[in-house]
Structure 1
Amino acid sequence: MSRATLLTGVGELVTFDPVHEGPLGVVRDAALLDVDGRVEWTGLASAAPRSDADEIVDAGGAAVIPGFVDSHTHLVFGGDRSAEFEARMAGRPYSASGIRGTVAATREATEDALRVRLTRFVTELRGQGTTTFEIKSGYGLTIADEERILRLAREATPETTFLGAHVIPAEYADDPEAYVDLVTGAMLEACAPHARWIDVFCETGAFTVEQSRRILTAGTERGLGVRVHASQLGPGDGVALAVELDAASVDHCTYLTDADVTLLAGSRTVATLLPGVEFSTRHPYPDARRLIDAGVRVALASDCNPGSSFTSSLPFCIAVAVRDMGMTVPEALRAATLGGAEALRRDDVGHLRPGARADYVVLDAPSYVHLAYRPGVPLVTRTRIAPH
């Protein structure tokens, strides 16, 4: 038997439904009808179909937005890199070499310890309004450890990404091609059943474009979708490779050429920007204004990881994107919700149009603008995640 819940008394409802006001589909003095975890109707509270509701919930004039969609996280790992962060803040430049320290700590951690920590992070995400999230592997870099990370990640989300090609592990430093053979062979074989996506860090000091193409192609042959880490530390060929392979997302995009921007604008590939990384590494922030003005689809994600971006807060990322990356507040909100959904090629989350999952966030604020206007303040009072 179906169950209907009417959320009413909403001061400002963001739906992304074009039948409502502006690009965000805003309704003021609004209501939302949720039937069995799906949005059935949105509109003025005065016009709400109250007779259809089994339960009525009053938002008390608060703003309500779609749940955040965090399309890039690394939540399964061992160890701590706070000393590395402290050293960076004292002037030491960031490099990706610290990943190997996390790899060592993750390999040493028990499965129970990794699961307990993952559960804490998921609770943290949800408390800050994230209702859909992706988790990557990449801190194991052996067959058994990568499989273990993905198996644990799958307990928390269906959006799991095999990132065996994060860096070359120390034991393969003298023979990187042998490691590529492992990633595209036995490691992929073990990990593919637990993954939806495959990813590669296509960057100087990590994997070349030729190695990256080989790894990603092997993944697509196993039915995995493509994601790419690229242009974080400097310009390179990763964006072109992502577009060539119709990747759902190319992530970081800190250093882009004009050709990169043109390619992205003519493709389905979403540029996922990770402002927590630049905040933590003191690299230049990516120029979101340049991308949006060129017609590129943009997402914001946390890149929650112990080295370069140890934040799980998309409200924080929104505030930074507005302050330092040239985004308007509506653009940043869209990037953290509907943009994240596009980066995962999901049409059922990131918005509150009829038929969407009824995943929403109630804010202790009259408007979504407060997400940037009141940075660092815990504005999320309720995170509603529809049952599957």
Structure 2
Amino acid sequence: MSSADSAPLILLKNAELFAPDAQGKCQVLIGAGRVLEIREQGAESPRGIAVEIIDLHGRRVVPGFIDGHVHVTGGGGEGGFATRIPPLPLHRYTHNGVTSVVGLLGTDDCARTVRELVATVLGLREQGLGAWAWCGGYHLPPATLSGDVRSDIAFIDPILGVGELAISDHRSSQPTLDELLRVASEAHVGGLMSGKAGIVHLHLGDGVRGLDLVRRALAQSELPARVFNPTHVNRRRALFAESIELARHGCHVDITAFPVDEGEDAWSAADALQGYLESGAPAERVSVSSDAGGCLPCFDAQGRMSHMDIGSPGALLATIRELLARGLPLQQILPAFTRNVAELLRLPRKGVLAAGADADLLVLDEQSRICDVMLGGRWQVREGQAVARGPLDASPPSFDPGNGNN
């Protein structure tokens, strides 16, 4: 019997629930790592069984964030081996509200391997995080564990698809249409065989070709549009306009929460998500990811890295808080960080708070800061204090709920 199975039930009372749709004041009954029941606010507490009752005093409860683009083994390396970024520890995710991740390789799919990626994902799972992976990386042929994309997806449990395959980028393999279609067909069939997402997660660079290769793939093949999942679509404003049109034709597009300088030809994640929602494109076909642990490089005219930043899991919460400050309703914002991602990835117990769902949830205070984090029915943070730690942490890390970018 696991510790989650033997723990008493937890009843959250006076919760303003966003599941992610607004549910009003509710009670949330939790046990064995799952949401057991969403109850009316006035329902009596269960009798004859041990129940820990927690009064949230009207604070908002939301699903944990699903970050579909995370360099769990570390990213970087474009400026030499000394610029390789180390992996982030568990608390960097959970304390910023991220309860599920999809790990990937980027530019460095040579020194970093799918074997290392899968091992890191499994290690995060051992610590309770929801964790999966894309096989491959920027380049062709895709890096795999079994020898081909289809077999990786079909037979290796954490692998959901292939990515981040780079297009319209000077660091890519400059794939042709036929090469992209071959990879996409392998991903699609692997997904059909295994019931997984089976998609191609596409890194978009700032090249002028933009999403032309994806449009041609849709026009000249029988593959469903959902197979093609472009990310970083807000890195150029013209590219973002292209991505909205692709979403209208069935693709799911992913916005990256990276820093954008004033006057830059890009949209911030907050601007992009607001613009997408106001465009009338299908609201269920957009998500926001952080590029956590990845290198955010700038290159000179010769293609050499001039400087770099590092993606942070806290960028998701920061984006939500910015949109709330603009007056957007929480229930309109949340799906791009929760349910939309889970539906794309075919993870039915993630991204929602309903009977049978995994008990991954956040409690937000009046300033929309995270004050409590629950992961699989176990508290990671309570009232702004870390209560859990990874096996390599000497002591629980300090936590500032007002930072949102730890």
TM-score computed with the length of structure 2 as normaliser? 0.67
Q: Which residue in the other structure is 2:357 paired with?
A: 356
| AA partner of residue 32 (structure 2) | D
Q: Which residue in the other structure is 1:340 paired with?
A: 341
- Name the CA distance, whole Å, in 2 between partners of 1:133 and 1:36: 21
Q: Counterpart of 2:258 in 1: which secondary structure?
A: helix
1:162 matches 2:135: yes
1:300 matches 2:288: yes
The alpha carbon displacement at 1:198 in A equals 0.4
- For residue 386 of structure 1, the aligned residue among 373, 376, 385 is 376
Runs of 5+ unmatched residues, structure 1: 17-23, 80-98, 168-179, 372-378
Which whole-Å deviations, capped at 9, do the CAs of 1:120-149 have from their partners, x for residues lacking one? 1x2111011111111112354238734223
Q: Which residue in the other structure is 1:13 paired with?
A: 17
**Conservation of the 8 A alpha-carbon contact between 1:265 and 1:296:** no
RMSD of equivalent CA atoms: 3.6
Q: Which residue in the other structure is 1:59 paired with?
A: 55
**Conservation of the 8 A alpha-carbon contact between 1:31 and 1:48:** no
Superposed counterparts of 1:307-322, under 5 Å = 307-308=295-296, 309-313=310-314, 314-320=316-322
- Name the CA distance, whole Å, in 2 between partners of 1:250 and 1:228: 6
Superposed counterparts of 1:172-187, under 5 Å = 180-181=140-141, 183=143
Which whole-Å deviations, capped at 9, do the CAs of 1:270-291 have from their partners, x for residues lacking one? 2221122546994411633453
- Name the CA distance, whole Å, in 1 between partners of 2:295 and 2:262: 9
Q: Which residue in the other structure is 1:177 paired with?
A: none
Q: Which residue in the other structure is 1:288 paired with?
A: 273
Runs of 5+ unmatched residues, structure 2: 126-130, 297-309, 379-406
The alpha carbon displacement at 1:40 in A equals 2.1
Q: Counterpart of 1:196 in 2: which secondary structure?
A: strand
Note closer, same or farther for the CA distance 1:281–1:315 as it changes in structure 2 (3 Å cut). Answer: farther
Note closer, same or farther for the CA distance 1:73–1:183 as it changes in structure 2 (3 Å cut). Answer: closer
The alpha carbon displacement at 1:258 in A equals 6.0
Q: Counterpart of 2:313 in 1: which secondary structure?
A: coil
Q: Which residue in the other structure is 1:170 paired with?
A: none
Of residues 272-281 and 184-193 in structure 1, the stretch that sits farther from structure 2 once superposed is 184-193
Q: Which residue in the other structure is 1:93 paired with?
A: none
1:68 matches 2:70: no
TM-score computed with the length of structure 1 as normaliser? 0.70
Q: Which residue in the other structure is 1:100 paired with?
A: 78
- Name the CA distance, whole Å, in 1 between partners of 2:254 and 2:37: 30
**Conservation of the 8 A alpha-carbon contact between 2:63 and 2:352:** yes
Superposed counterparts of 1:1-388, under 5 Å = 5-16=9-20, 24-28=21-25, 30-51=26-47, 54-61=50-57, 62-77=59-74, 100-101=78-79, 106=84, 117-118=87-88, 120=89, 122-138=90-106, 140-142=108-110, 145-157=113-125, 158-164=131-137, 166-167=138-139, 180-181=140-141, 183=143, 188=148, 193=156, 195-199=159-163, 200-205=165-170, 206=172, 207-210=174-177, 211-223=179-191, 225-233=198-206, 234=208, 235-240=210-215, 241=217, 244=224, 246-247=226-227, 249-254=229-234, 255-256=238-239, 260-267=243-250, 269-276=251-258, 278=260, 282-285=264-267, 287-292=272-277, 293-297=280-284, 298-308=286-296, 309-313=310-314, 314-320=316-322, 328-363=329-364, 365-366=365-366, 370-371=367-368, 379-386=369-376
Higher relative strand content: 2
**Conservation of the 8 A alpha-carbon contact between 2:202 and 2:228:** no
Q: Counterpart of 2:311 in 1: which secondary structure?
A: coil
| AA partner of residue 253 (structure 1) | V
| AA partner of residue 31 (structure 2) | V
- Using the aligned pairs only, state the percent identity: 17
- Name the CA distance, whole Å, in 2 between partners of 1:183 and 1:312: 25
| AA partner of residue 372 (structure 2) | R
Higher relative helix content: 1
- Name the CA distance, whole Å, in 1 between partners of 2:231 and 2:100: 17
Note closer, same or farther for the CA distance 1:217–1:385 as it changes in structure 2 (3 Å cut). Answer: same
**Conservation of the 8 A alpha-carbon contact between 1:13 and 1:63:** yes
